[in-house]
Structure 1
C-alpha cells in the first residue's frame, strides 16, 4: 500500500500542475479514461491532459486533494475533493466567480507502475449547483 500511496502522491502532483512529463511517466499510452461527459473513453497522457484542461478552463485555480484510498491488487479507489473558483466558462456557464468544493470518486487500474484505466465519477450535479447552473433543491 505504501508504494500505491507514493504513486498517487505523484499523480496528485500531476493533476494539480498538468505537468506533461509526469503525465508521460504515470499514464500508459494505452490507458483509457471513462468520464461521464464523453461517450467514448479518452486515451493516454494526452487524453488525461484534455480532462485536466477542460476543468482548468472553467476553474483555473482548481486543486485536488486525496481524502481516502483503497487498493487491492492492481485496482485502486480514490475519493478526491476538488476546490477552485469558477473563473471561466464551464459546461456553457459563464464565469460566476463562485468557489466550488466537490467530491469525485475515481477507480483506477494500474499496470507496470502506470495508470492503464480510470473510471471517474465527479459530483457534476453538486458542481453545477454551486456555480448556479442548476437550482439548489
Structure 2
C-alpha cells in the first residue's frame, strides 16, 4: 500500500474499533497475528477487545499521530472511557479514564500481521486503582 492508502486503511480500522464492531476489527487482522508479550492470533485480539468494550461501553480512541514507513505503522493514540463493568478483576468504579497508547504494526495485504505496543493496560489499571 502507498502511504496515503495506509493512512486511509488505519482510519477505517480505528472507525471499526470506535464502533466496537468485533467482526469488522477481525477483518483487519491476520488470523495468526503476532502480538509482543500477548497471546497471538486474531481470536485472542478480539477476545481482549470484547473484554475492554464490556468494561468500558463508551471506550474511544483518538489518533494523535500516525507515521507510515513501507509496510509499518507507528501510532500515538489517546483512549478514554468510563469504567462501567469488571475489568481485569477490578469491579466497576465509574471512573473516567484517559490513557496514552502507542503501537507499531506491520500490515500485509490489508491485515495486521505483527503488533507491539502499550496493550498491557498498565496506565489504565493504575487509574482504576488510583
Fold in common (TM above 0.5): yes
Alignment of 1:101 with 2:103, yes or no, is: no
Q: State the match for 2:61 in structure 1.
A: 64
**Which runs of structure 1 show a deviation greater than 4 angstroms over 4 or more consecutive aligned residues?**
none
Following TM superposition, by how much is the alpha carbon of 1:118 offset from its aligned partner in structure 2, in angstroms? Answer: 1.0
CA distance in 2, matches of 1:123, 1:23: 19
Give unmatched runs, 5+ long, in structure 1: none
Following TM superposition, by how much is the alpha carbon of 1:120 offset from its aligned partner in structure 2, in angstroms? Answer: 2.4
Alignment of 1:92 with 2:89, yes or no, is: yes
Matches within 5 A, 1:4-83: 4-35=6-37, 38=38, 41-44=39-42, 46-83=43-80
Q: State the match for 2:108 in structure 1.
A: 111
Could you tell which deviates more after superposition, 14-23 or 66-75? 14-23
TM-score relative to the length of structure 2: 0.86
Offset from partner CA, 1:19-64 (integer Å, 9 cap, x none):
24423432122222235xx4xx3202x2221121121122121011
Following TM superposition, by how much is the alpha carbon of 1:90 offset from its aligned partner in structure 2, in angstroms? Answer: 1.4
Contact 1:29-1:43 within 8 A present in 2 as well: yes
Aligned length: 128
RMSD: 1.9
Following TM superposition, by how much is the alpha carbon of 1:70 offset from its aligned partner in structure 2, in angstroms? Answer: 1.0
Contact 1:103-1:123 within 8 A present in 2 as well: no
TM-score relative to the length of structure 1: 0.82
CA 1:82 to 1:112, structure 2 compared with 1: closer, same or farther past 3 Å? same
CA 1:43 to 1:122, structure 2 compared with 1: closer, same or farther past 3 Å? closer
